[in-house]
A and B are shown apart, each in its own frame.
Chain A
Amino acid sequence: MAESYRWLILLGALGLFAGGAASALLFARIPKLSDWLAHVCALLGNVALMAGAIIGFSAKPGQAVLFHGAFTFTDIVVRQSAFAAFFLFMTGAIGLLVSIYAIGYAAEYRGRKSLALLNAGTLLFLMAMAWVVLSGNVFTFLLAWETMSIVSYFLVMYEHEQDEAQKAGFVYVVMTHIGTAFLMIAFFLLQHYTGSFDFARMNAANMPIVAKSWVFIFAFIGFGTKAGLVPLHIWLPRAHPAAPSHISALMSGVMIKTAIYGFLLVVVQFLHAGPVWWGIVALTLGAVSALFGVLHALNDIDMKRMLAYSSIENIGLMFMGIGTALIFCSLRQPVPAALALMAALIHAMNHAFFKSLLFMGAGAVLSVTHTKNMNLLGGLIRRMPQTALFVLFGSLSIAALPPLNGFVGEWMLFQSMFALGFSGTNIGLHMLGILAVAVLAITGALVAMLFVRAFATSFLALPRSEAAEEACEAPLTMRTGMALATAVCLMLGVFPFAAFGAVRSSIQALTGADALAPNLFSPLFMASGSSKAAMGTIAAVLIVCSGIAWLIARIIGGKTKTTSVDTWACTNTLEPRMTYTASGYSKPVRVASRFLLKPSRRLIVDRNPKSPYFIRGYTYISRIPLVVEEFAYRPVMHLLVAGARIFRKIQNGQVQSYLVYLFATLVIVLFFTMR
């Protein structure tokens, strides 16, 4: 029964998105109606997506041809599996939260920009992301993939009058197309060896290892670009902050996860894993991304760029999980492979929720203070108490602190790295697992520092600018979106089993082992039975323990009074400029990671011309060079430009010579085909 409804619901969702986008543009002249239509379609469409996904969790994989193209390989085929359902659910859930938030957030642009365009873009973006996951063959997939890229490009460029957006858009569109090119090569290679463009029949079990490895490399580059893995990340810290905040939330929360979906589809489902070095490559680059992302985030004062770098870090963690899973697949150990894969997917889901929550929070701050610079904020907890609470929960989640959802994924990742350290077959793999644990630990602590810094310097102490001084609470719809996200973070933290069930069957299909199998309840992974309620127990214990703390203090000390006075500032009055800024907070890390980041600083002293001893002001400029851009991308770009200069000689502007080129080409082609 559910089978037949499934397609109806899912395609209905896509139709709602498309229809909403069309009607938003159609009625652009009637702003009220256009907005209303767009928002209603977004809400309904996301609810439908979630419903379809929930049915899909338990249903058998199904496939349907929507539209017959001129050739069989250009058919538009949709396919649905439990694995896709997981990502669909994520898209729908995040989409729903963000759509509610967008009702309030988009209003900020009213009168300045075309809201209809933004709303339509958002809807198309949601549609494209869902469609990527629903694709059933290469053609459909690439079509959806490109739609997603192009629509998100336009959304990044939405505020095109700003320099930031223009630069970001350019880098983004170039990188994403390079990525797509590699994907095409990967898929064509697959087709060559499997003889089918159809995902259902793409079984590359009999492919020669060398060809498999090529596919892996191309897929890794293609999907890694979209995911934002170092060194392919260069678009991400530019594009995510430039987009409107709710789009940033979707990009970080969902879009980069589609790359995880695609990567797993190609590497695990089609190729069935390969040599051990695949996993090692994924694990290593994941670890590099995690460290790189968090170090750069710590030295960024732009709230949204910091969150974007933090996305790179989280994608790194996911790839560490995936890499571990691939290593275990190569070693023919499906059980720990299933666990590692589950860790990556659960972390992906959790990241979607808390990262979109944090982006929404950053957007709320941005919309009332009009600044993203954390050094100019401060003291917002009094002015935006509810937003502060939500951002605090988001920060606690992302710092993987119990009993919130970030901890669950982190804990599973630790478990799978430990498993690698324990059961590696040779000392190299042992040490790899151990070092991965170390990287996870460092990253975890750095993320905690990052979000203490972000929260404390933006929301606590004193406001360091007019804008922060005059901030007020965000509108109700924005707060609702954030509140729901917070609730989900808590729920998934306390009852993680809800999420486990959602990925269990698809992981079983991918690796052939149950990630929650009884033999996993060995001492290495979980204690028998208690893991089901473990997180809930921890939450309860924490609450009880804090209560005990209060009781102890109360019983021993009796009732006491509290007086409030000014903060002691060495007999001066405390001024906002005395309070710690975000730049100051991360100074120790900058100093300690000097050999990696190579920061530079300049101090410009403005002296009084009459006397050098009186100083009117200091300007402090601190800069972190973008190492990857300068050492990897620039030389390649120079080579390309130099090469283009050489080839420009044949572009002489005369029609006759172009005709000669045409003729020569024709002759060559004929020569090759007539042989």
Chain B
Amino acid sequence: METILLQTAQIVLLVLFAPILTGVIKKTKALLQGRKGPAIMQTYYDLRKFMRKDAVVSKEASWIFTATPYVVFGATLAVTALIPVVSDHALLSFTGDFVLVVYLFALARFFLAMSGVDTGSSFGAMGSSRDMFISMLAEPVLFITVLVMAIPAQTLNLSAMVKYLATGGQHITPAYFMMILAFVMLLVTETGRVPVDNPDTHLELTMIHEGTLLEYSGKQLALLVWGSSLKQIILFALFADLCFPWGVATEPGLGPWLLGLVLLLLKMVGVGILLASVEMSYAKMRLFKVPRYLAAAFLLSLFALVTEFLL
């Protein structure tokens, strides 16, 4: 009973903490740029504001446009039940659940991409086309990167993988460092940050993810913004648990869990600050440079695997 409660608490925690993380990244960026920046809780205020506003919907849009926010948020929320966050237990876990995680993200992306085209606006369609394009390049990297950790653990179950790593499984290898680098490159891509995408603007030169949200307003916009920050925190949690599994609660009970929670929050804020500084240090690259960038990440994780097999 207690475990189930704690696992549910994990989900609630992720959902509630997701906007703060976005706020932390924005604040860090602003400070690095010498600006004051928005409040850390600003994303919350925005969400509440969006939720209360009346929506304006295009005449051309169909029911898909209306359904998308719920599907996107729902699918992302379902992922939170599948991944180990604070402890090495997810609420629902089975073998190969990692494949399901990837495909649930794909489900969200599929609907988002459709709604981008739905209004007939070229901005949305362009964003949708680019979003699908970049995801096509990022998906293999995601699989191979996680495989780097799955091979020594001899399992594909995320919970079992984290358990293996957290209980002193083989960890500090050359492969590990390559994987961390590849994973950071992937995080940048998947959360739509510079140098791949720019999260702060809707300009057509930079729009990938934001382009698909362009036509949304009101409650639906709120859900989509929240959904994308939720996706971000899920990826951060995966990154933290797979690469820095120290302090993940492997014992049942409240004590270890709370310790794990504190450490996890610290780790995530750390990753957020890291990504913000990455964003600050680069200019956005051209869309057609992205394949090279992701190919580099892919090769990195492949090399990591090769070293793993050879050493």
Are A549 and B70 in contact, with the CB atoms below 8 A?
yes
Contact indicator per residue, chain B 131-152, by CB within 8 Å of chain A (1) or not (0): 0110111111011100100110
- A587 an interface residue at 8 Å Cβ cutoff? yes
Q: Is A200 interfacial (CB 8 A cutoff)?
A: no
B130 within 8 A of A: yes
Q: A-B pairs with the 5 shortest C-beta distances?
A: A557-B51, A546-B74, A580-B125, A456-B117, A449-B132
Number of interface residues of B (CB under 8 A): 88
Q: Closest A residue to B118 by CB, please name it.
A: A460
Contacting pair B133 A460 (CB below 8 A) = no
Nearest chain B residue, comparing its CB with the CB of A407? B103
Binding stretch for chain B, among A184-192, A365-373, A439-447: A439-447
- Please name all residues of chain B whose beta carbon is closer than 8 Å to the beta carbon of A554 when the two chains form the complex: 219
A276 within 8 A of partner (CB): no
CB nearest to B119 among chain A residues: A567
Report which B residues bind A (CB closer than 8 A).
47-48, 50-64, 69-71, 73-75, 77-78, 81, 92-96, 99-100, 102-104, 106-107, 109-110, 113-114, 116-122, 125-126, 128-130, 132-133, 135-140, 142-144, 147, 150-151, 154-157, 160, 215, 218-220, 222-223, 287-288, 291, 298, 302, 305-306, 309-310
**B152 shortest CB reach to chain A, Å:** 11
B100 engages A402 (CB within 8 Å): yes
Among the 9-residue stretches A12-20, A414-422, A603-611, A655-663, the one with 4 or more Cβ atoms under 8 Å from chain B is A414-422
Contact of B139 among A431, A442, A565 (CB under 8 A): A442
- Mask, A572-601, CB within 8 Å of B = 1, is 001000111000111111011000000000
- B62–A382 CB distance below 8 A: yes
Q: Of all chain A residues, which has the CB nearest B59? A: A564
* A437/B144 in contact, CB under 8 A: yes
Known: A382-B62, A441-B140. A456 touches B119 (CB 8 A): no
B57 contacts A531, C-beta separation under 8 Å: no
Q: B-facing mask of A553-566, CB < 8 A → 1, else 0?
A: 11011101111111
Docked complex Cα distance between A542 and B111 (Å): 14
Kindly report which residue of chain A lies nearest to residue B151, judged by CB atoms: A422
Contact (Cβ within 8 A) B222 A580: no
Please determine whether B109 and A568 come into contact, CB atoms closer than 8 angstroms.
no
Tell me, yes or no, whether A400 is within 8 Å of chain B by CB: yes
- Chain A residues within 8 Å of B70, by CB: 546, 549-550
Contact of A448 among B132, B138, B291 (CB under 8 A): B132
Chain A hits for B74, CB < 8 A: 542-543, 545-549
Dominant secondary structure of chain B at its interface with chain A: helix
Which residues of A sit under 8 angstroms from B215, Cβ to Cβ? 567-568
Q: Is the beta-carbon distance between A434 and B59 smaller than 8 angstroms?
A: no
Contacts of B139 on A, CB cut-off 8 Å? 441-442, 444-445
Q: Is the CB of B64 within 8 A of A400?
A: no
- Contact pattern, A 443-477, Cβ under 8 Å of B = 1, otherwise 0: 01110110111011100111000000000000000
Q: With contacts A545-B73, A562-B57 known, is A569 near B132, CB below 8 A?
A: no
26 contacts between A and B (CB under 8 A): A407-B100, A407-B103, A411-B100, A414-B99, A415-B95, A427-B306, A441-B142, A441-B144, A442-B136, A445-B106, A449-B133, A452-B114, A456-B118, A523-B95, A524-B154, A538-B92, A552-B73, A553-B219, A557-B53, A562-B54, A563-B56, A564-B56, A569-B122, A584-B125, A587-B129, A589-B133
In the complex, the answer to whether B103 meets A410 with C-beta atoms within 8 Å is: yes
Given contacts A381-B63, A549-B74, 9 further A-B contacts (CB under 8 A): A415-B96, A430-B309, A437-B144, A541-B81, A546-B70, A549-B223, A552-B73, A574-B120, A579-B120
Query: Interface code A423-440, partner B: CB below 8 Å = 1, 0 otherwise?
Result: 000010011001001111
- Residue among B60, B116, B155, B291 having the largest count of chain A Cβ atoms under 10 Å: B60
> Chain A residues with Cβ under 8 A from B81's Cβ?
541
Residues of B within 8 A of A578 (CB): 120, 122
For B104, the chain A residues whose CB sits under 8 A away are 402, 542
The 8 Å CB contact of B110, one of A399, A462, A524, A526, is A399
Q: In the complex the two chains form, what is the Cα distance from A591 to B130 in whole Å?
A: 12
In the bound complex, residues from chain A placing their C-beta under 8 Å from that of B136 are 442, 445-446, 448-449, 589
Expressed in whole angstroms, the minimum distance between the Cβ of B291 and any Cβ of chain A is: 5
Contact between B95 and A461, CB atoms less than 8 A apart: no
Q: Min CB distance, A661 to chain B, in Å? A: 60
Are B52 and A558 in contact, CB atoms less than 8 angstroms apart?
yes
B114 touches A456 (CB 8 A): yes
